[in-house]
Structure 1
Amino acid sequence: MTAAPHTVAPANTVGRVMRQVLYALLPAICLHIIFFGPGLVIQILLGVTAAVAAESLALRLRGQPVQKFLMDGSAAITAVLIALCLPPLAPWWLIVSGTAFAILVAKHLYGGLGSNPFNPAMVGYAVLLVSFPAQLTRWLPPDISGLQTVAFSLPETLHTIFTGSLPTSLQWDAVTSPTPLNALRTGVAMGQTLQEATAQPIFGMLGGRGWDWINVALLAGGVWLLSQRLIRWHTPVAMLAGLTIPAAIMSAVDPGSYPGPMFHLTAGASMLGAFFIATDPVTSATSDRGKLIYGAGIGVITYVIRSWGGYPDGIAFAVLLMNLSAPLIDRFTVPRIYGHSR
C-alpha cells in the first residue's frame, strides 16, 4: 500500500526458535527422568543458572546489552544439551564448569552468538569428557523391569550431586551400569561375539533398553522441528545415512562383531546429534549440498569412533571436526553470486 522500503517483522526470532527447540526436547527429557530419576532436572537447573551467569558476565565485559541477549534463550539451550549428555548423578561442578566453558570460551571468546565456529555445547561436553572421564561413566541402569536395583529419591539425588558421594552403605560399582555402547564395546574387546555381548539385560530388541525410547522421542521432536521449518532435512538425513550405511556394510561383512544400523540409531546420542546438535545454523555448512556433505561426515566419523576409536560414542568429536571443516565445505559448495565470474 505504500512505497518501498518495507519493514517486515521476522517470523522466526532467535528466542522463538530456541523455545521451539526446547519444546521438541521435552518428550525426551520426560522419558529420561522416568528411566533415570530426577537427576536430570537438577542438572538442567544448575546448567541454566551457570549459563545465565556466564552469559551475563561475558556481555557486561563486552559492553553488550545484557537483557536483550539473555532473553534469546541460546545460553539455556546450550545448558540443556550438555545436561542431556551427562549422567544424572554427576557432581554439580561438572555441569557448572562445562556450561561456563561453553559460554565463555566456545561462544563469547569468538564474538558471541552467530560468530562462534564451534558448537558451544559440544565444546563444553568434549572438555568434560576428556578431563573427567571417570565421572562421565557413572550412569544408572534404566528403571525398567527391575534393572535399576537402587531407586534414588529426590533428597538422595540432591545429596549425591552436591556432595559427590552416595548415601551410606552404597558403592558406585553397585548402583551404576555401563551404557549400551560402552557395554558392547567392552564385550567385543574381551573376545565375546555380538550375541554374547548383547545378552546382558540392558540390551533390548533395538538397542539399549530405555535408550531406544529416548531416541524415538528425540526423533519425534526432530520431525516436529522439520514440520515447523525450523531445521532443514539435509543435515539430519545425511548424518543418519552416514552412520547407518557403514553400519549396514560392516554388519553384513562380520555380523558377529558389528551391530546393525538399528542399534546405532537407537543407542547413544544419535538422534540428539542428528536433529538438535548437527543442525546448529551457526556452525554447520550453508548450502543444501554443503549440509549433505557436512551431515554425512558427522555420521561416518561417529561410526568410526564408535567402532575403532577411544570413546564409546563419537558424536561430540565428530561434530567439532565437521565444524572445523564447514568453512572449506562452504567454499566449494556455496553457489556463486549472480553477476560475479568467481
Structure 2
Amino acid sequence: MNQKLVISPSPHVHGGDSVPKNMYGVIIALLPALVASLWFFGIGALIVTFTSIAACVFFEWLIKKYLLKVAPSVSDGSAAVTGLLLAFNLPSNIPIGLIIIGAAVAIGIGKLSFGGLGNNPFNPALVGRVFLLISFPVQMTSWPVPITSRLHYIDAETAATPLSVIKEGVSSGQTIPELMSEIPSYISMFIGNIGGSAGEMAGIALILGGIYLLWKKIITWHIPVSVIGSVIIFTGILHLIDPLKYADPLFHVLAGGVLLGAFFMATDYVTSPMSRQGMLLYGVGIGLITVLIRTFGSYPEGVSFAILIMNAFTPLIDRYMKPKRFGEKVKTVRVQPSK
C-alpha cells in the first residue's frame, strides 16, 4: 500500500483568525478615537502616539533579538497595539522621555518578562501607564485643554478633568448639581471636547470602534456589557441614595476611561477569562472596583487599577468557571463473578 495514514494533533478545523488579523483589527477600531484625539489635541496627540508606537515596536525588537535571542515578531501588530493603547492612556503634553520609559516598562516588564505574547498575566499597556502614574504623578495628571492646545505640546494650557472636578469638589463640601455647572456638558463628553487622555474623550468614537470589534467578532459582548452595565448599576444605586454627593451613571460612563477599558483593555485575550460566565464575573468585578475607587478612593479614576486587579484574578476565574467539557465521565462498576 502506497498511501500512508497521517495522524496530526488538533485543531483540525481553522476559523481563519490569526494574531496579526486580530491585532490590526483592533488598530482599525481605534482609528476613529485617534482621529478625534488629533482633532482636539493636535500636535501633542500626534507626538505622543507616534513616539509610543515606535518605542514599543523598537523595544520588542531589541529585547527579542539581543536579550531573548529569538526571532522578533513585531510584524504581528501586538507591539503596535500596546503602543497605541499606551498613548491613549497618556496626557498629550507628557515629555517624550516619559513615553519611552512607559513603553520600555510595558514591553520589557509587562509583556516579555513573562514570555511574550500569550503569557503575560497583566495588560502591558496598563502596566506602563500605572508605572508612570505612580512614578511621575505630576506629569501624568496634567491634562491639556482641547482645541486651544492643538498647536502646543509641552507648553499646552492645562485644566482638571471632569472626574477630578467632581472628586475635589465633593471633598470640599460642594454638591453634584453645583459642580455640574463647572464641567462640560454630556454632549461635549460624547463628542470628545473635554480634558483628559485620548482614551478618556470622544465617547462616540470609542463606541464606534467597539461596535466594529463586535461586528468582526474580534471580541464578544460579555465583557463590555458587564463592565459598562455594572458601572451604570452601582453608580445608579449610589446616585439614588444621595444625588447631592454621587454623580449619575451617564456621567461615570462618559467621563474617564470606562469605554476604552470596556472595549479595548479589559477584552485582551491573554489577560481575560475564557468562559462566558467568567467574562461576566470579570467585567462586573472591573465595574465594581472602578466605582469604589472613583467614589471612595484617593484617585479620581480607577479603570486601570480595576482591570489590573481583575487580570490577577483571571487564572482563578478560569479554574472554577471552566467551559463545559464534551462527553461525560463513565463510572466504572466492578461486577463480582457469580460462584
TM-score bin, normalised by smaller chain: 0.7 to 0.9
Q: Contact 1:46 / 1:96 at 8 angstroms: preserved in 2?
A: yes
2:279 maps to what in 1?
291
Distance 1:109 1:242 in 2: 33
Residue identity in the other structure for 1:185:
K
1:16 maps to what in 2?
21
Q: Which of residues 281, 289, 313 is equivalent to 1:301?
A: 289
Distance 1:227 1:336 in 2: 26
Instruction: Give the Å deviation of 1:335.
Output: 3.1
Instruction: Give the Å deviation of 1:63.
Output: 2.0
CA gap 1:10/1:91 in 2 versus in 1, 3 angstroms: same
Distance 1:340 1:62 in 2: 43
CA gap 1:281/1:305 in 2 versus in 1, 3 angstroms: same
Instruction: Give the Å deviation of 1:8.
Output: 5.8
Distance 1:266 1:30 in 2: 18
The answer to whether structure 1 residue 62 and structure 2 residue 43 are counterparts is no
1:163 maps to what in 2?
none
The answer to whether structure 1 residue 100 and structure 2 residue 104 are counterparts is yes
1:192 maps to what in 2?
174
CA gap 1:244/1:276 in 2 versus in 1, 3 angstroms: same
Distance 2:114 2:186 in 1: 44
Could you say what secondary structure the match of 1:113 adopts? coil
The answer to whether structure 1 residue 265 and structure 2 residue 253 are counterparts is yes
What CA deviation, in whole Å up to 9, does each residue of 1:5-29 have, x standing for no partner? Answer: 6976652211111111111111111
Instruction: Give the Å deviation of 1:297.
Output: 0.4
Distance 2:187 2:44 in 1: 26
Instruction: Give the Å deviation of 1:338.
Output: 4.0
Q: Contact 2:60 / 2:107 at 8 angstroms: preserved in 1?
A: yes
The answer to whether structure 1 residue 34 and structure 2 residue 29 are counterparts is no
What CA deviation, in whole Å up to 9, does each residue of 1:269-322 have, x standing for no partner? Answer: 111000000000100111000000001100110111111111111111101100
Distance 2:230 2:276 in 1: 16
Q: Contact 1:235 / 1:295 at 8 angstroms: preserved in 2?
A: yes
Instruction: Give the Å deviation of 1:191.
Output: 0.7
CA gap 1:31/1:152 in 2 versus in 1, 3 angstroms: closer
Q: Which of residues 135, 139, 157 is equivalent to 1:135?
A: 139
Could you say what secondary structure the match of 1:247 adopts? helix
Q: Contact 2:186 / 2:254 at 8 angstroms: preserved in 1?
A: no
Q: Contact 1:216 / 1:266 at 8 angstroms: preserved in 2?
A: no
Q: Contact 1:287 / 1:330 at 8 angstroms: preserved in 2?
A: yes
1:177 maps to what in 2?
159
Q: Which of residues 187, 210, 219 is equivalent to 2:193?
A: 210
Distance 2:313 2:14 in 1: 34
Instruction: Give the Å deviation of 1:203.
Output: 1.9
CA gap 1:336/1:241 in 2 versus in 1, 3 angstroms: same
CA gap 1:341/1:130 in 2 versus in 1, 3 angstroms: farther
Q: Which structure 2 residue ranges, 5 or more long, are not aligned? A: 195-199, 331-339
Q: Output the aligned Cα RMSD.
A: 2.2
CA gap 1:298/1:122 in 2 versus in 1, 3 angstroms: same
- Identity of paired residues, percent? 41
Larger radius of gyration: 2
2:57 maps to what in 1?
52
Distance 1:28 1:114 in 2: 26
Instruction: Give the Å deviation of 1:218.
Output: 0.3
1:73 maps to what in 2?
77
Q: Contact 1:206 / 1:263 at 8 angstroms: preserved in 2?
A: no
Distance 1:5 1:243 in 2: 50
Distance 1:258 1:206 in 2: 20
Q: Which of residues 87, 93, 97 is equivalent to 1:89?
A: 93
Distance 1:87 1:217 in 2: 18
Distance 2:13 2:321 in 1: 30
Q: Which stretch of structure 1 is more off in the superposition, 179-188 or 10-19?
A: 10-19
The answer to whether structure 1 residue 230 and structure 2 residue 218 are counterparts is yes
Q: Contact 1:207 / 1:262 at 8 angstroms: preserved in 2?
A: no
Q: Which structure 1 residue ranges, 5 or more long, are not aligned? A: 161-165, 167-171
Distance 1:89 1:64 in 2: 36
Aligned residues: 316
Instruction: Give the Å deviation of 1:179.
Output: 0.7
Instruction: Give the Å deviation of 1:37.
Output: 2.1
Distance 1:103 1:15 in 2: 17
Q: Which of residues 107, 110, 116 is equivalent to 2:114?
A: 110
Could you say what secondary structure the match of 2:272 adopts? coil
User: TM-score scaled to structure 1, two decimals?
Assistant: 0.87
What CA deviation, in whole Å up to 9, does each residue of 1:170-221 have, x standing for no partner? Answer: xx7xx21001111111111111100111211x32035746258611210111
Distance 2:43 2:6 in 1: 55
